Amino acid sequence: MLAAWRTVLQLPEQLDDLITMNRVSKVFTLPSIISGQIQRFSDLDEELYLGWRQDLSTAFRVINFNAQFNEFSQRLSDSLLISIRFCAHELDKRAPEKDVSSEELDSLRESAWSLYEEVVKADLPNEISRYLLDYLYLIIEAIDDYAVTGAVGMERALNAVLGTIITDSARAENVRKSQFGEKFWIVVTKVGVVLKLAKTATELAEGVRKLLISP
């Protein structure tokens, strides 16, 4: 089963089993992601476009990593797959997926991981260290899962970080003032740039700065 999933998800053959299982678990989030995207458009009939979810949920329940992959795949009927393709076609017309190149992903991951390692080795107050490590890991995980969850996963990670400016403003401000604050927000702005949420890192960084210093 795991070997087949590595092939389907285009993962390295020698990838650790636990990491592979973690990547497979992200496949389970796809129905929720697709549903959320379809529900953005009020003119799309949910029953018509999302009626396949129960069948897919049933198929997911039989996944057993000690079993054969075809025990799962044979439950994916042609009609179910065609229904999902209809969703993909409609979303591609209305909200095309943001395409991030492998080079951009590699560069972004390297920046995030390098900073993560620096923070691990640093002597920082616990609240600052925890904030940096948690959100850097969230970004790294979203990058690693890009082949499965696409740009939506990266957008969720970015929104989670930016959301702390409002929901956890005091800690976000303390992080900004810390020795790693500038490097951290540079990584965050890079995520926004590769997702084409801003033309340049400077433009997005200025927006973040205004949020952080706003009363």
Amino acid, res. 173: E
- H/E stretch holding 103: helix 102-121
Does the pLDDT value for residue 9 go beyond 60? yes
pTM: 0.80
- H/E stretch holding 85: helix 78-94
Q: pLDDT value at position 210? A: 56
Domain definitions of the chain by residue range: 2-94, 102-213
**pLDDT grade, residue 201 (50/70/90)?**
very low
Of 111-115, 138-142, 150-154, minimum mean pLDDT range = 150-154
Of 143, 141, 151, 136, residue with least CA distance to 195? 151
Q: pLDDT value at position 66? A: 87
Does the pLDDT value for residue 57 go beyond 70? yes
Q: pLDDT value at position 206? A: 57
Of 140, 181, 133, 182, residue with least CA distance to 158? 140
Q: Which two tokens stand for residue 203?
A: 């433009």
Q: pLDDT value at position 183? A: 94
Q: pLDDT value at position 212? A: 52
